Every structure is written in structure tokens, then in C-alpha cells.
Amino acid sequence: MYAGTPGTDARRAVTAWIPRQVLASVVLLLALIGLGNLGRAAMALHYARLLPDLPLTVPWAYLAGMGVFWGIAMMVCAVGLYLRRPWSRKATLAVATLYQAHVWLNHLLFDASDYARQTRPRDLALSALFLAVVWGTLHLPGVRRILGISHKDTTSHKDTKAQRNN
């Protein structure tokens, strides 16, 4: 049996749950954003029926499609991380980044009101915070260990090929 220094086992027990809790927080965040996007899609379809002649900068179908696509993508990533699937880390990094890029493309192309332009600094801060939380969490060594990803798995193809030749 391992007989470490006094308190070592207690410290390990306390710090072992941290990566799991942080990962669970990201799973919850992704699930909430996914559900929010699915709700946005449902509302777009509802309002499209109620207000078909309302002038918009984008059609209702685009808003609904965007909500469905990103809602499903976020939910798939949340479920994949929850189930600790090996593909979930890379998929989540890609989905989170592409989601924010798409949000900002929409801001730049379709914002029509002064209020939308005034809230851009806040929106930029929230986007940066979202990406920092997702990217930061999924790069933590404890989280990578939980997902079964070692540093060796993320080396470049060139490094792997050079190691095989030696």
C-alpha cells in the first residue's frame, strides 16, 4: 500500500475532483447554449408563422436553421464530453470556435440597429470569455487525462513520422 507523506492522499483526493467539476461546467455551458439555440429556432418558426410580413435583415428560415444547426452541434459536443468520447475534445474546440466566428459574421453583416452596435464591446467580451473557458478547460492536463488524451496524441504528424524513422 502506498504510504505517502501525511496529507498527500488528502490533497490528491481534494484536487482529483477539480478537473471533473471543470469539465462538468463546460458540459453544462455547452448544453445550455445548445438548448438556447434550439429555443431560438423554435421561436423563429413561431414568429415566422405569426409575423410573416415583418421586415428583417435575414429571413426567418435562416434564423431557424442557424438555431437548429448550432443547437444540435452544441448538444452533440456536450453529450460527447459527458460520455468522455475521444473525439469530443477536438469537436468541441472546433464547434465553439466556429460558433463564435459565425455569431460575429452575423453581427458584422446583419446588425441594423444602433443598440446592436453599442453592445458589441460586451458581446466581444462574452465571446472571448466563452472561448477562453472552453479552450482553457479542454487544454488542462487533468481534463485531457479524463478524456484519455495524452500529449503524445496531439503532436504533429511530422513529429510522429520523424519518431518512427528513428
Pair 100, 128: CB distance under 8 Å: no
Report pLDDT for 6.
57
Predicted TM-score (pTM) of this structure: 0.79
Report pLDDT for 39.
98
pLDDT in tens, 137-159: 999 999 999 888 754 555 555 55
Q: Kindly state the greatest CA–CA separation across the chain.
A: 74
Rg (alpha carbons) of the chain, rounded to whole number: 21
Identity at 101, one-letter amino acid code: A
Query: Domain map of the chain by residue range?
Result: 17-154
pLDDT in tens, 52-79: 998 888 999 999 999 999 999 999 999 9
pLDDT in tens, 14-30: 556 788 899 999 999 99
Q: Which three cell numbers stand for residue 86?
A: 475521444
DSSP-derived secondary structure for 96-112? HHHHHHHHHHHHHHH--
**Angle separating helix axes 88-110 and 8-50, nearest 10 degrees:** 40
